[in-house]
Amino acid sequence: MTNKSKKQLRQEAIRAEIAKRQSTRANLSPLDRNQLLSLVEYVGKNIIENGHENNFQFSAQWARRNSVDLEKLTDFLASERINDDWDLAVGCDPFDLMGESEDRLSWMPLDQTELEDLLDWLDEAVQERGCNHDYTLSKEWLSNNSADTATTLMALMAKGGGCDCEIVLNVEPENIYP
């Protein structure tokens, strides 16, 4: 047996284990992936627009509006080491938890072309204008392109984009789209 075939066997075993864990999570979750995605988007948008406290304030609002048992939801989130809305917004990717879809490996409101356009534009803008270590340039592009600014900023933040220059450095489309 060659090293390559051993490597392939390890990779297959890893993929099988990840699929098993995602299936287990999906079975334990009171939400399906689309509901979890809706929750993450709702919470992320509200955090960007209103700030946050160390609680499940926005998750509770979403649960009430969607007739979801909050205790079951927070118990599931706690089992995934998600202890408040901030943890949910930056650390809970429905595609990581429950498996990828045909068009996503990871959560991102922008489609692939839009994200690539944003990254190209930001790269040039940061080089020309510099980075203020905030989202000034990203907000400008998102506003000019009619994108949901708050939800997209939270998704970018969750991917390691803590400011405009970090978005350029850390957000990789190949980790988001198949």
Model pLDDT, residue 64: 97
Please answer whether residues 51 and 126 qualify as being in contact, where contact means their C-beta atoms are separated by less than 8 angstroms: no
The end-to-end CA distance of the chain, in Å, is 31
* Mean pLDDT over the full length of the chain: 92
Mean of pLDDT values over 65-76: 96
The band of 31, judged by pLDDT with boundaries at 50, 70 and 90, is very high
The band of 2, judged by pLDDT with boundaries at 50, 70 and 90, is low
Q: Based on the fold, state whether residues 94 and 11 are members of the same structural domain.
A: yes
Q: Which of 38, 71, 98 is where one domain is finished?
A: 98
Structure-block tokens of residue 116: 């690539």
Q: Name the residue with tokens 């979801």.
A: 68
The band of 98, judged by pLDDT with boundaries at 50, 70 and 90, is confident
Q: Which one has a higher pLDDT value, 110 or 7?
A: 110
Q: Based on the fold, state whether residues 72 and 116 are members of the same structural domain.
A: no
- Strand stretches in 20-60, DSSP E: none
Q: Which one has a higher pLDDT value, 13 or 169?
A: 169
C-alpha–C-alpha distance, residues 176 and 150, integer Å: 19
Lowest-pLDDT range of 13-17, 59-63, 170-174: 13-17
Among 156, 161, 157, 158, smallest CA distance to 131 is for 161
Domain assignment present for residue 103? The answer is no
Mean of pLDDT values over 133-151: 96
Model pLDDT, residue 146: 94
How many C-beta neighbours within 10 Å does residue 30 have?
17
163 is in which domain, residue-wise?
A: 112-175
Per-residue b or e along 71-93, where b marks 16 or more CB atoms closer than 10 Å to that residue's CB: eebbebbeebebebbbbbbbebb
Model pLDDT, residue 134: 96
**In angstroms, how far apart are the furthest CA atoms of the chain?**
58
- Nearby residues of 130 by Cβ (< 8 Å), 6 or more positions away: none
Q: Based on the fold, state whether residues 74 and 7 are members of the same structural domain.
A: yes
Q: Which of 65, 98, 131 is where one domain is finished?
A: 98
133 burial class (0-12, 13-18, 19+ CB within 10 angstroms)?
A: exposed
Mean of pLDDT values over 62-80: 96
Mean of pLDDT values over 13-19: 78
Q: Based on the fold, state whether residues 90 and 21 are members of the same structural domain.
A: yes
Q: Based on the fold, state whether residues 117 and 76 are members of the same structural domain.
A: no
Model pLDDT, residue 19: 74
C-alpha–C-alpha distance, residues 133 and 169, integer Å: 13
pLDDT of residue 7 exceeding 90 = no
